[in-house]
Structure 1
Amino acid sequence: MQRSTRLKESSVPVAKIEDAALKRTRWPLLLGVGGPVVLLAVLLSVPALNPEMPWHLFHVLLVLPAAAFTVAVTVWMGYVGLRQRNAEVLLLSLAFASLGLIYAVHGLGTPEVGVLGQRMEMVEMDADAGSKAYPSVLSAGAQAGAILTALWLLLSSFPSTNALVRALLALRGWLTLLWLAALLGIGALVFMPEVTELLAPSSLPGKALYVALTTLAAAWTGARYWASWRYARFPLQLAVVYACGWLTAAQVVIVLNYAWKLSWWVYHLLLVLITVSLLVGLIRQYREGSVPLGTALRGLWNNDPDALLAAGISRPVRALVAEVEAHDPYTAGHAHRVSVYALRLARALHCPPEALRAVTQGGILHDLGKLDIPAEVLNFAGKLSEDQWALVRQHPALGFERAKRLGMLPEELGIVRWHHERWDGAGYPDRLSGEGIPLLARILAIADVFDALTSERAYRQPWSVERANDFIASEAGKAFDPALVRVWLALHAPPSPAQPAGTRGGYSGVPAAAGD
């Protein structure tokens, strides 16, 4: 609301955009989520269409391999989240693990053929209780798994600046393994009669409570991810929206306790759809359309930030960068060059690999907020008015708001928000000063100014590298951290006679900047 007010006050017209992608997505989403819901409603309301299908052996052969598969994918997604420094993916891996709990309990508790199901059958035969407890055990495991899945999905929708998310990310190196261990304990508890009764209540209020909790969490999550998808168009975000709808429908079947009916098998289909949608969404998010799938997936584990910049940045992020550059044509290639310059300075400072990856990803999206600044202001050939400058100075804060929706970690968010802060405190948007500005933002500030000076702009020709570095040197202690300026200038010292022509600062094979 604040952004719209400021734009209006500046008297700059903002064109209304007709979103064709949004229109194309709505109907498939409604049909994809609404179709199974309608099918379940028909089956549950017409008993003749919902026959008994007690395929116990098939059930075990379906769900136990699915449980093993989800554990493997959980570990993979958790590792991807760590390597890509993406809190959203890391927390989604824990939702995936919770789905595995449903599969495991279903398999182990299957009557007659499940390992624990056989043991329970002997106990219940002595008690002359028949097999009525089987659906309860299966329902209890499904309830626990569904609620935990919904809660992790919800948590993954919050930015890394959220207090709870930040606390969890402090354990991010161990989080996936810790949660898998916790799920083993929860799975064992499900087979205890007291826990089974708690998780699979027979009363209508108890059933309604579980449906309400899961539906609320899933609806809230779906709404947040839908809003994020409208900003970023990431496939994984849309996959979570689908998963939330299917999870709610599946919960209804479990609460009604129609075990071994046709509707119960539709429930299993929904679980498979949830699993596949999250997995496919993740793969699509990090797959370049022109690169083979195997090559794209290998890129996720690439430890070289240069290689990450070349091939590991996801297609949606590249699309965002392209959108920024199309919005401001004079910055074509700017994000990539700034990331390369900042990466090299960070390496010269012996920053750890995690910081190198953060500066790469934060750098590539540091001007994301320019999408919210009118193009006629960004490309204005003359001197900007005070109102126009006020608009331009909003782009770090606006970019920060956009970047929060992408699951970026705090280090990357700091780069986006504070790369225009100054060492002397005269920068924007928060007037931070000195070491109060995060190191990675201070690094990017130098790289950003250097590329801006050595690139063509609407209002001037590019400067030479020597002139740009002279300016950076003159701003040490004013605009820039003087210690970082010394390292930067050392990197850009004139090449020795032994160096190949066309390279600077020892970076073999990298051409000199424009305007040299």
Structure 2
Amino acid sequence: MGKHKKVFVMLGVLMLLPLLCYIIIQMTPLDKRIHTPHGHFYIVSVVSVLALAVAAAIGIVAPRIRNIKVSFLSLSYVSLAAMFILHGISTPGLLMHHTGISGSVAQLSVLLSATWLWLCSISADHRMVRWLSMKQLWLLPIWSIFLLGFGTYLWINPDFVYHLHLKGGVTKWITTGAILSMNAWTIYRNLQTYLVSKFPLQLAIVYSTGWMFIAQIIMVTGEAWMASWWLYHFLLLASVIIMVSGIIREHLSTGSITASIKLLFRANPEDWINTYISPSVRELVTATEAKDSYTAGHNYRVALYALKLGEELGLSSSQLRAIAQGGLVHDIGKLYIPDGILNKPGKLTDEERVVIESHPVSGYDVCKRLGFMVEELAVIRWHHEKWNGSGYPDQLSGEEIPLVARITAVADVYDALTSSRSYRKAMTHDEAMIILLKESGRHFDPRCIHAWERLVTVQKEFFQETLQNSPHLKLEQKLAN
């Protein structure tokens, strides 16, 4: 609770401090008129161009990261930066003399950014988010073309800005209400997720959106060119900077952006597991392994086995990446199971088994708020479903079970059988294979089992080497090898 209190205090300070400064400046002689169109042009335009370049670069690699939240964040700050460039270059008295564009597009930049941030706070299994996820590769180019076309049209036809009704007495406050409502929801959902996951990206979203919230208040209540009015420009630019920094820290953390982007484009998904895992995903996996000592290294091996099986079945690179990431966090729901039940050496009671069988849904609920894609969520929720419909949590059967989950189920059971548990010793490869073959058509998809048979025959040395390694080799040690 102490850590949670610290987060709330920090959020309050970061939001209230600029608002307090704004109020104090307005009430003192410090609020002087600072009419410097050239300064406004250079400060806003230069910093916005840099922010746009970085936000766009992150949007380009977002599909490789396989996190729809990152795509939405990129689109949010591409929108903010692009419209703010237009805000800067349309400064009255420099490149144009129209007085309506600059103020209106500043309002529009926050509205568009707040909308994408609101989408970012919606769970990944929502119908609209799922539809956008399927178009993820095209989101950035299509949206960029729209922004460019809209900005060009507005530049050629500046009077069109009056049709947007963003600066009118009533419409200004309606727009502000919509922006603040979306910002408040974004802050709430991401703060809620951060307190569960401790992902730094969620905290960056909270702080960044908080500054956008205050910037909007200053924008609509401040007087143009006054010292207090300038504050919202710096808040919006700071909002972009902290958000971009949060994304880089979360997903591009190998020492340099260039090296990180190269890693994202590695063709071999097995290399991807070993060389690119975001710090927060790594923490989730190691936290799970620390809680359940008998599954140390289990997540890594399941991801690796599932990758091998996926390759044998001819899955695409995108599907293999989904299996890799989903396999690494497939048991994250076990973090919410009491230790006494999770590590119980004896037979579980019916009530305890119900608790154990809740972990796929718990893991699914956490990861859908973190922006995991549909395929990864399928692995997390349905890796315990059975071909004959007797599995859990949703009793899916046959082709109803997503293929990525059926593949992971084979890998998961094989590793469980060949690893020691609190209630039994590890089985040999041959003993485990007897059980897998026996369960073909009941527990497992027969096509997956046939492919698994081929795989273990062709790559016999790989499986022997993996089983000979310490069954309790943790993820950090695996990744260091």
After TM superposition, the score normalised by the length of structure 2 is 0.92
Q: 1:137 aligns with which of 80, 85, 101?
A: 101
Residue of structure 2 equivalent to 1:227: 192
Distance 2:269 2:419 in 1: 24
Does the 8 Å contact 2:92/2:102 carry over to 1?
A: no
Compute the RMSD of aligned alpha carbons. 2.0
1:173 partner SS: helix
Distance 1:28 1:307 in 2: 39
Distance 1:194 1:482 in 2: 62
Q: 2:381 aligns with which of 400, 412, 417?
A: 417
Tell me, yes or no, if structure 1 residue 175 matches structure 2 residue 139.
Answer: yes
Distance 2:470 2:383 in 1: 22
Residue of structure 2 equivalent to 1:247: 212
Shift of 1:236: 1.4
Does the 8 Å contact 2:333/2:364 carry over to 1?
A: yes
* 1:277-334 CA-partner distances (Å, limit 9, x unpaired): 111100111255xx52354454333332222211211111111111111211111111
1:104 partner SS: helix
Does the 8 Å contact 1:95/1:149 carry over to 2?
A: yes
Higher helix share: 2
Does the 8 Å contact 2:51/2:241 carry over to 1?
A: no
Q: 1:78 aligns with which of 59, 80, 85?
A: 59
In structure 2, relative to structure 1, the CA distance for the partners of 1:382 and 1:264 (3 Å cut) is same
Distance 1:53 1:311 in 2: 51
2:462 partner SS: coil
The 10-residue stretch of structure 1 (297-306 or 481-490) with the greater mean CA deviation from structure 2 = 297-306
Q: 2:15 aligns with which of 29, 33, 38?
A: 33
Distance 1:323 1:342 in 2: 21
Q: 2:182 aligns with which of 208, 217, 230?
A: 217
Does the 8 Å contact 1:91/1:156 carry over to 2?
A: yes
* 1:74-125 CA-partner distances (Å, limit 9, x unpaired): 3212123200110100111110111123322222211232x2x2xx2xxxxx
Residue of structure 2 equivalent to 1:285: 250
After TM superposition, the score normalised by the length of structure 1 is 0.86
Distance 1:385 1:202 in 2: 66
Distance 1:436 1:445 in 2: 14
The 10-residue stretch of structure 1 (100-109 or 358-367) with the greater mean CA deviation from structure 2 = 100-109
Shift of 1:230: 1.1
- Structure 1: unaligned runs, 5 residues or longer: 1-18, 121-132, 497-501
For this pair of structures, how many residues does the alignment match? 468
Does the 8 Å contact 1:495/1:503 carry over to 2?
A: yes
Q: 1:301 aligns with which of 231, 243, 265?
A: 265
- Structure 2: unaligned runs, 5 residues or longer: 472-481
Does the 8 Å contact 2:72/2:117 carry over to 1?
A: yes
* 1:311-360 CA-partner distances (Å, limit 9, x unpaired): 21111111111111121111111111100000110011110000000000
Shift of 1:514: 5.9
Does the 8 Å contact 1:189/1:195 carry over to 2?
A: no
Distance 2:274 2:458 in 1: 27
The aligned amino acid for 2:56 is: V
Distance 2:34 2:467 in 1: 68
Structure with bigger gyration radius: 1
Distance 2:92 2:368 in 1: 47
Residue of structure 1 equivalent to 2:279: 315
2:136 partner SS: coil
Residue of structure 2 equivalent to 1:13: none
Identity rate, percent: 35
Q: 1:466 aligns with which of 390, 413, 430?
A: 430
Shift of 1:494: 7.6
Does the 8 Å contact 2:104/2:166 carry over to 1?
A: yes
Distance 2:264 2:2 in 1: 31
In structure 2, relative to structure 1, the CA distance for the partners of 1:494 and 1:112 (3 Å cut) is closer
Residue of structure 2 equivalent to 1:128: none
Does the 8 Å contact 1:141/1:187 carry over to 2?
A: no
Q: 2:71 aligns with which of 90, 93, 97?
A: 90
Tell me, yes or no, if structure 1 residue 442 matches structure 2 residue 406.
Answer: yes
